[in-house]
Structure 1
């Protein structure tokens, strides 16, 4: 698919006010300007805090206007997921990472490794379309509802931005935000969670990969504030504020975090380092034991060729000794765990639940599982062995690493 065309937001020229020095000014205007000049001179001499606040506000407004001038957008059709995926892939080829990529590049995404991100960017493995993943489907379906919950709780209004955004201020980043907060330099990130991962939000915490995502969006858009609204299905709702400005915590906010500019700049640095150290040098990041790396290796090298022997140079005998020691430690821990579990089961006997101090233990039967012997069904249906063989396929055996 051809990537969508880049749409550059036009720069609006500033209108020169009619009431400035020259034609069109009135004596009243001149008097007003004179009074303002006297007031500002007095503020400067007295070091008036009001002047400091006004200057900071003017600087923020100037920064916002300058940022808007360099904010580019690649539009996509929200009803066509393929156009959204194509926009993201096109920007990766421009050596840019998105907000959800940055946690991976920083090594804080427990679901995806830096190595997989590298292999996807290089085109060695296909980037999975997470739109087919159930948790992602649930999140997409619930996103609009979460946005409405945010509006109801805060009184603010939000709208969609059907575009992937880039900025000259962040040449290695891009942002695809959930919502823009109206009449405010702010965005909204909508998140859903369930009872299984609710602990990730305990004690006002936000998962590190989400924090990186928010800071990436702030860096790209130039917005001063980002709201994160989390709906933990059937349990509770949480509202977070990440802001560059010192503000009082609103009553409806659960967690307020003040962010420094250096933290936003760090997002650009992480992305730049990832491309410069790995992608542009064709040097893959080392494996670090992340959950998805074993599956990645199966995709990269699904079959071993019999009779081929190579000399391994990056792994030493010292590494193998460490590996052996880890196996012994794991075996010892598993044996100790099994012994404790069996002692608990012995005391539970036929009871389904028990108490140990302040903790609860259970020993219950799972729901019965069903399994159909289709070969027996075929025989009972008097299917011939030739018919059974015609519908029988061989699957590739698992590729197992053994260290001798």
Structure 2
């Protein structure tokens, strides 16, 4: 039975999928253990579909066709969500299964901005983690990876089964899933995706104006303030070094020192002055062109 997109989203909350693997072990730039936990426990809404995700789905068959052309192998769809009793916390929704082999195929579509990641036979760690996860769940001996870089190139890779890496990844996923089962969050990590999820989870304060007792958090508050002061001092120091180099360059746009090339080139930037336009054209209603957002401002004040 083929699942609808909504049904698939609900099913993926019941376990760890291939796209979660890299985040759980700290190798994803877009997600963290905390954000995956928030997703699996239903604390945040499903990720909104975007153009990159749409193109990835629409071009999946094209990527599979190109892979078959390049390798002279055959593959077919596997629409069922796969599970393994050895890893009840994990599941796999694979792109294709290779005919005549104990192997699968992952089809990727990415931007030209990522082209350098595929030079010299390399590929992103997130892709590797996903393929290792799929080999663990399916028992496959290898996993093929096909990557279409829009308008630039097509790359194919073979990832062989490594029992030690599978064991390490599955142990990390097993440990993570305990947080989901116990409904206890993993530690926060200082990364931007975690901040964004916290802001989403606790966007509205529900008019809770009464101070909460943060007993035992004095050291955390002091560490925050000390770090903030250190960053400010370092920013000033960085600015000073920049000023020294600018003074040395003077009228020149380029400067060289050993292996370093310093650039200070003139640029122009145009910005729309919304307030000035509204003042000059009071008859035009611009309210529909302003994006409104809700947020909570974080600050610490020391009481005297």
Which residue of the partner structure matches residue 134 of structure 2? 217
Which residue of the partner structure matches residue 303 of structure 1? 204
Q: Output the CA distance in 2 between the equivalents of 1:354 and 1:145.
A: 48
Q: Does 1:284 align with 2:205?
A: no
Q: Look at both structures and tell me which one has the larger radius of gyration over its CA atoms.
A: 1
| CA spacing shift, 1:167–1:235, aligned 2, 3 Å | same
Deviation at 1:370, TM superposition (A): 4.2
- Correspondence 1:214-363 to 2 at 5 A: 214-233=131-150, 236-244=153-161, 259=162, 261-276=163-178, 278-304=179-205, 305=207, 307-313=209-215, 315-317=217-219, 319-349=220-250, 351-363=252-264
Q: Does 1:155 align with 2:155?
A: no
Deviation at 1:148, TM superposition (A): 3.5
CA contact (8 A) 2:18 2:133 kept: yes
TM-score (norm 1): 0.63
Which residue of the partner structure matches residue 299 of structure 2? 401
Q: Output the CA distance in 2 between the equivalents of 1:364 and 1:197.
A: 26
Q: Quick check: 372-381 or 332-341, which moved more?
A: 372-381
Deviation at 1:331, TM superposition (A): 2.5
Structure 2 alignment gaps of length 5 or more:
none
| CA spacing shift, 1:290–1:393, aligned 2, 3 Å | closer
Equivalenced residue count is 301
Q: Does 1:119 align with 2:38?
A: yes
Q: Output the CA distance in 1 between the equivalents of 2:246 and 2:100.
A: 61
Q: Does 1:208 align with 2:125?
A: yes
| CA spacing shift, 1:354–1:151, aligned 2, 3 Å | farther
| CA spacing shift, 1:114–1:144, aligned 2, 3 Å | same
| CA spacing shift, 1:395–1:88, aligned 2, 3 Å | closer
**89, 93, 104: which is aligned to 2:23?**
104
Q: Output the CA distance in 2 between the equivalents of 1:113 and 1:343.
A: 39
| CA spacing shift, 1:117–1:381, aligned 2, 3 Å | same
Q: Output the CA distance in 2 between the equivalents of 1:351 and 1:156.
A: 58
Q: Deviations over 1:48-98 (max 9, x none)?
A: xxxxxxxxxxxxxxxxxxxxxxxxxxx23xxxxxx13422422423xx211
Q: Secondary structure at the match of 1:287?
A: coil
| CA spacing shift, 1:361–1:402, aligned 2, 3 Å | same
Which residue of the partner structure matches residue 86 of structure 1? 7
Structure with larger RCO (C-alpha < 8 A, sep 6+): 2
Q: Output the CA distance in 2 between the equivalents of 1:116 and 1:197.
A: 24
TM-score (norm 2): 0.81
- Correspondence 1:147-186 to 2 at 5 A: 147-186=64-103
Structure 1 alignment gaps of length 5 or more:
1-6, 8-74, 77-82, 245-258
